[in-house]
């Protein structure tokens, strides 16, 4: 299991890096539609990795839920589902 965990973490890091690059490109290219689509694809990849981290028990869903609620409240003043 440790090998899979390591592999999963490495893949997650790579996907997060690709999302960072997509965000940067979107900003540099004035939010053009083609670049927005690429950003959306990278978001999907990162969401899959996050789900895998939760499903394998590497990430704690209860902690994630509490943190998400607090972050939404900070930015929006209320919970956002």
- The 10s digit of each residue's pLDDT in 24-60 is 999 999 999 999 999 999 999 999 999 999 999 999 9
Secondary structure of 20-79 in HEC code, one letter for each residue: HHHHHHHHHCCCCHHHHHHHHHHHHHHHHHHHHHHHCCCCCHHHHHHHHHHHHHHHHCCC
Which position has the token pair 């083609």? 34
Query: pLDDT confidence of 5, banded at 50, 70, 90?
Result: confident
Q: CB of 42 within 8 A of CB of 15?
A: yes
Q: pTM value? A: 0.83
The phi, psi pair for 30, rounded to 5°, reads 55, 40
Q: What is the mean pLDDT of the chain?
A: 92
Q: Is the pLDDT of residue 81 over 60?
A: no
Domain residue ranges of the chain, discontinuous segments joined by +: 2-76
């Amino acid at each position: 299991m440790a090998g899979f965990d390591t592999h999963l973490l490495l893949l997650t890091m790579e996907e997060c890096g690709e999302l960072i690059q997509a965000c940067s490109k979107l900003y540099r290219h004035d939010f053009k539609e083609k670049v927005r689509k690429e950003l959306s694809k990278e978001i999907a990849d990162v969401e899959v990795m996050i789900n895998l981290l939760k499903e394998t028990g590497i990430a704690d869903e209860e902690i994630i839920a509490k943190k998400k609620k607090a972050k939404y409240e900070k930015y929006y003043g209320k919970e956002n589902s």
